[in-house]
């Protein structure tokens, strides 16, 4: 009798604990969506949306194991709160008829010593334009010496906040975006004008602060603000490509606000953006990463296909977009 009573109490306690856990998860997941514009920690949750969905699925399965209606309802709520943010991902760019162009962006990782693996990738060697972050002089010299891309941006990496552009097409102009801004942590997007097929193509290279603290989060948000203002100044019929390490998750309201205010479109999946940034400590488990490297397009540019390249010694994967220009 005592054993039966003890098991009964434990079961009831488990029911209560599971219900509270599911309810707490749901409140945290939905609350972080609502507060992400104003709270640093809430916006950080957007980097973990795929992981939170996995956790929500586990909670749902565990709730069913209790065979209790109330617990199952709380488990279902947890699952729905994990799925819910995926319904609000930005719409991707559409395909268009036009001249083909392949653009690759990659954060090569400042501690990655050897560019040989990167250069050996067929998707890299066939790219028309490379937009790279965390460049070092060694990488810069190796890519220039390859002879694949006859045109390159300034070799002053410090002035370009360690970003670099290589191109098969002439680079006509280059300038930093809003260099007078004092609230972007010393980082600025770079605007390049290229001559492609007798017509101007605008390429923005981006790499804002990683939001590891409230201050850096505000600096990243200011960077995206300046970038949006620059994009709004472009003519609507001008083909514009924005590429880089955004240090901003696809679910972040700051990224979605930039797209909605400019009319630009991402190249990422509408339902499941592929992870591009991962921890080297997890080895080949790139699936445990999060999508922060991306290419964004103006309405004049079409998207033919998007792919992630393989690992090459960085903690980021290259993003390969096959585009069409008018």
Confidence at residue 285, expressed as pLDDT on a 0 to 100 scale: 58
Answer whether residue 281 shows pLDDT above 70.
no
Residue with tokens 């960077």: 223
Query: Where are the domains positioned within the chain?
Result: 2-88, 99-325
pLDDT at position 1, please?
A: 42
Residue 4: pLDDT over 60 = no
Residue with tokens 């010393």: 186
Burial 291-305 (b: 16+ CB within 10 A, else e): bbbbbbbbbbbbbbe
CA–chain centroid gap for 235, Å, is: 25
Please, what's the b/e burial string for 218-253 (b: 16 or more CB within 10 A of its CB; e: otherwise)? bbbbbbbbbbbebbeebeeebbbbbbbbbbbbbbbb
HEC secondary structure over 247-259: CCCCCCHHHHHHH
Which residues, at least 6 apart from 137, have a Cβ–Cβ distance to it below 8 Å?
A: 157
pLDDT, mean over the chain: 90
| Mean pLDDT value across residues 254-270 | 95
- Mean pLDDT is lowest, of 97-106, 223-232, 309-318, for 309-318
What does the pLDDT average to over 83-101? 91
Measured CA to CA, the distance from residue 219 to residue 198 in angstroms comes to: 37
What is the pLDDT, as a whole number, of residue 74?
A: 86
Q: Is 287 a residue whose pLDDT tops 70? A: no
The predicted pLDDT at position 70 comes to 85
User: Residues with Cβ < 8 Å from 144, sequence gap 6 or more?
Assistant: 152, 166
Residue 5 has pLDDT above 60, yes or no: no
Alpha carbon distance 203, 214 (integer Å): 29
Give the per-residue pLDDT at 158.
81
> Mean of the pLDDT values across residues 43-49?
92
Superfamily of domain 99-325: Endonuclease/exonuclease/phosphatase (3.60.10.10)
Q: What pLDDT, on the 0 to 100 scale, is given for residue 2?
A: 43
Look at residue 132 and tell me whether its pLDDT is greater than 70.
yes
Token pair for residue 39?
């709270």
Average pLDDT over residues 9-17: 77
pLDDT digits (tens, 9 = 90+) for 54-81: 999 999 899 888 888 888 898 899 999 9
Mean predicted confidence (pLDDT) in 25-51: 91
Residue 235 tokens read as: 């003519």
Higher pLDDT, 33 or 280: 33
């Amino acid at each position: 009798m005592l054993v039966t009573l003890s098991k009964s109490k434990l079961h009831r306690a488990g029911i209560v604990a599971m219900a509270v856990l599911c309810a707490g998860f749901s409140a945290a997941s939905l609350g972080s969506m609502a507060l992400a514009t104003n709270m640093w920690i809430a916006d950080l949750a957007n980097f973990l949306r795929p992981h939170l969905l996995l956790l929500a699925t586990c909670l749902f399965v565990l709730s069913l194991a209790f065979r209790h209606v109330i617990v199952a309802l709380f488990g279902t709520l947890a699952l729905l709160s994990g799925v819910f943010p995926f319904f609000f991902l930005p719409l991707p760019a559409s395909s268009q008829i036009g001249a083909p162009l392949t653009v690759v962006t990659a954060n090569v990782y400042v501690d990655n010593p050897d560019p040989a693996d990167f250069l050996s990738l067929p998707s890299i060697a066939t790219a028309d334009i490379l937009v790279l972050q965390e460049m070092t002089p060694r990488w810069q010299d190796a890519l220039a010496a390859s002879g694949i891309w006859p045109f390159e941006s300034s070799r002053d990496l410090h002035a370009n906040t360690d970003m670099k552009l290589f191109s098969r097409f002439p680079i006509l102009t280059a300038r930093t975006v809003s260099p007078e801004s004092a609230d972007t942590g010393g980082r600025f997007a770079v605007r390049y004008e290229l001559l492609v097929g007798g017509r101007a193509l605008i390429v923005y290279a981006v790499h804002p602060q990683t939001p590891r603290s409230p201050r850096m989060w505000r600096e990243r948000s200011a960077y995206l603000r300046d970038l949006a203002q620059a994009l709004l100044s472009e003519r609507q019929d001008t083909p514009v490509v924005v590429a880089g390490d955004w240090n901003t998750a696809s679910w972040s309201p700051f990224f979605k606000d930039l797209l909605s205010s400019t009319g630009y479109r991402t190249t990422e999946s509408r339902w499941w953006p592929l992870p591009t940034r991962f921890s080297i400590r997890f080895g080949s488990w790139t699936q445990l990463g999060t999508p922060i490297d991306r290419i964004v397009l103006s309405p004049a540019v079409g998207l033919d296909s998007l792919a992630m390249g393989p690992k090459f010694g960085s903690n980021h994967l290259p993003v390969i977009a096959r585009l069409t220009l008018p």
